A = this chain, B = another copy of it.
């Protein structure tokens, strides 16, 4: 294994690493906020790296983007206004805009360079960027939520990097309280919540902070994600009021294509592993 031919992400906590063989480095820059790299890989298509961590590949991003959007959108009774905090690669935005009920989808990523690079190297993820319902803002998502008026959004999707650096504030009780305050009555948030195998205590802290903020009816859902540490990822939904049962019939009749998500996968993602139940659902 010649290191110059591979991109490797070492996961410090688990002392594990995942590597992809690369054909070439396509781009590298230091943006105002982060170190960005783009590689062409042998079998995963293009690969975006932020601050040394794998973010998105052409081949396997569908798991994450579909599971960050469709379960929440099919749980809310009528999602019209959706915000995506982070999500600069625009893949979540694309999935959100597949829902006809959505009237406005605002993507708020602090780093415009992520989106500009996605437009070049992941054009398929950006194919809905010119949808008239889409609004791309390159500002601080934490401040955006803090300054928002009550009842101004139905779903907030927190599609961020790991809870270090600029994303750390997105995992705090103060941020969740600001989300609570600007959500509509049926509103909910969904946040990427790392690996239940590697980051169980972090998930516990997130859940505690969400609950302390007033959010309720937490649901952690599980899905594969080869590119991310342990290959097994999660997202956590939390609601402003009673969580509705998901719109199963609408999901079963979804009028758009997906690669991983369907109504059975939606239900399956909500099954809680035995160790997870013991940790959090006593």
| A contact residues vs B (CB 8 Å cutoff) | 1, 3, 6, 8, 10, 13-21, 41-44, 60, 197, 222, 224-226, 230-232, 258-262, 264-265, 267-275, 277
Contact = CB atoms under 8 A, between A and B. Distances in A.
Given A224-B197, A268-B269, A16 B19 contact: yes
A42 B11 CA distance: 12
A231 B17 CA distance: 12
B10 A20 contact: no
A73 to B, nearest CB: 16
Given A6-B17, A16-B20, A197-B60, A271 B275 contact: no
B43 A15 contact: yes
Contacts of A197: 60, 224, 226
A167 B72 CA distance: 43
A189 B208 CA distance: 43
Given A1-B8, A226-B232, 12 more contacts: A6-B17, A16-B18, A17-B21, A197-B226, A224-B224, A224-B230, A226-B230, A231-B232, A260-B274, A262-B271, A262-B273, A265-B272
Contact of A268 (B14, B44, B267, B277): B267
What 5 A-B pairs are tightest by C-beta distance, nearest first? A231-B231, A268-B271, A268-B268, A224-B232, A15-B21
Question: Helix, strand, loop or mixed for chain A's interface?
Answer: mixed
Which of A14, A41, A231 has the most CB atoms of chain B within a 10 A radius of its CB?
A: A231
Given A8-B1, A232-B231, A274-B262, A42 B20 contact: no
A18 B15 contact: no
B274 A258 contact: yes
Given A1-B8, A3-B1, A15-B42, A264 B258 contact: no
A147 to B, nearest CB: 39
Contacts of A231: 224-226, 230-232
30 contacts: A1-B17, A6-B17, A13-B43, A15-B20, A15-B41, A16-B43, A16-B44, A16-B226, A17-B17, A17-B19, A17-B21, A18-B19, A19-B19, A222-B224, A224-B230, A224-B231, A226-B232, A230-B231, A231-B231, A259-B273, A260-B275, A261-B274, A262-B273, A265-B271, A265-B273, A265-B274, A267-B268, A268-B268, A268-B270, A268-B271
